[in-house]
Amino acid sequence: MQGDELRVAERRADAFPALVEVTPRGLYCAAGDFYVDPWRKVERAVVTHAHSDHARPGSARYLCAAPGVGVLRERLGARAAIEPLEYGAVLTLGDVRVSLHPAGHVLGSAQVLIESGGFRCVISGDYKRDADPTCAAFEPVRCETFITESTFGLPIYRWRPAAEIFDAINAWWRRNQRERTTSVVLAYAIGKAQRILAGVDASIGPIVVHREIGRFVRAYREAGVALPRVRFAEDLAVAAARGRGLVIAPPQARGTRWLRKFRPCVLATASGWASTRNGRPRLEQAGFALSDHADWDGLLRTIRETGAANVGVTHGYAATLARYLGENGWNSRVIATRYGDEEAEAGPAEGLLPGIV
């Protein structure tokens, strides 16, 4: 690193949060004239993943990781101008270099690395550290400034191995089948539903998915992700699944006429919130703590692996995580954004029913 670049890299506090600023339209990089996950219409949006709190319709141009183009197009519509960028490839925008790196959250999810003058800033979007066959695994990126989510940024959130969760789901499904009851898992349409499909034992019985999930299942398959055979909820599929099948539906289906077609049925949530006593809606009889976000240990591990001296903390338990980091040697602060989690807009700590994350 040359002298001028070294001095830039050492200006930790002065440069924080390096290369981006919060504006009324979202996180903006003036040197490259683009926004990352803007919450309003902009000329150029760099999108970390296709969840609706990060990928809003109406912008003139979108840049996303190549594996996620199909899912993002399904979200935004056929007319959206989407430019793919392979993981690790570098694109020059204005005075900065931009590259996308796997975030492990859902198919095509990416961290955004912005480089200028020897300074590196990473905007993580949402991420998880657990293995998931439906998307590329998270890759730590060395940087001076790291902007992290904090959806589960409390020490009480520590995930069990996913294999144990899927064993529990399979056992629950078999038990319900013996009792001639339909098993219904409420899971978000992008990412969680496909992860469940890839993880359960499809030999137990027929699997039916809600049409909202089905359209993203198709996008996953077109991207080369192997998923078991599923049925849509036409009459024959309903008859085959009733009392023995597994139904995967989005949380919005709770209490709808569509779901009543499968009675008798038992509902479960697949959610990180289910790891705590108050983290499951009262109407659900089961909860499986399966999350597509990093837990407390995963957040801290990731921050350490980036080598970042500056850490910006966004949506979730941002104040708690930022305070912990500040007390343990990082230059940390909360970065106020409009990102939430469209599956769980606030979460149980804010007194709302937890959603499916």
CA–CA dist 28, 22 (Å, integer): 6
CA–CA dist 216, 222 (Å, integer): 10
CB 314: neighbour CB atoms within 10 A?
A: 26
pTM of model > 0.85: yes
Q: How far is CA 267 from the centre of its chain?
A: 23
DSSP code of 252? G
The residues near 108 (Cβ < 8 Å, ≥ 6 apart) are 49, 50, 64, 65, 66, 67, 68, 69, 71, 72, 135, 223
Peptide bond into 206 cis (omega under 30): no
Say what the pLDDT of residue 339 is.
Answer: 75
Question: Angle, nearest 10°, between helix axes 211-222 and 69-76?
Answer: 150
Dihedral class, residue 78 (left if φ above 0, else alpha if ψ from -120 to 50, else beta) = alpha
- 162-288: in CATH 3.40.50: yes
Beta-bridged to residue 114, according to DSSP, are 98, 121
Say what the pLDDT of residue 12 is.
Answer: 41
Q: What is the bridge-based pairing of β-strands 96-102 and 90-93?
A: antiparallel
CA–CA dist 304, 310 (Å, integer): 11
What single-letter amino acid sits at 60?
A
* Structural domain 3-157+292-350, CATH architecture: 4-Layer Sandwich (3.60)
CA–CA dist 310, 13 (Å, integer): 7
> Which runs of consecutive H residues, i.e. helices, occur in the chain?
3-10, 12-15, 69-76, 162-178, 192-199, 211-222, 235-241, 257-260, 296-306, 318-327
Query: How is 330-355 classified by DSSP, letter by letter?
Result: -EEEE---S---TTSSS-GGGTSPP-
Averages of pLDDT over runs of 10 residues in the chain (357 residues) are 36 56 94 96 98 95 98 96 98 98 98 95 97 97 96 96 97 97 96 98 96 95 96 78 94 90 93 73 71 97 97 95 97 85 40 25
Best CA proximity match to 208, nearest among 169, 255, 242, 171: 242
Peptide bond into 264 cis (omega under 30): yes
Say what the pLDDT of residue 76 is.
Answer: 97
Say what the pLDDT of residue 13 is.
Answer: 41
Which residue do the tokens 């038992």 mark? 266
Residue ranges of the chain assigned to CATH 3.40.50: 162-288
Classified as helix, coil or strand, 236 is helix
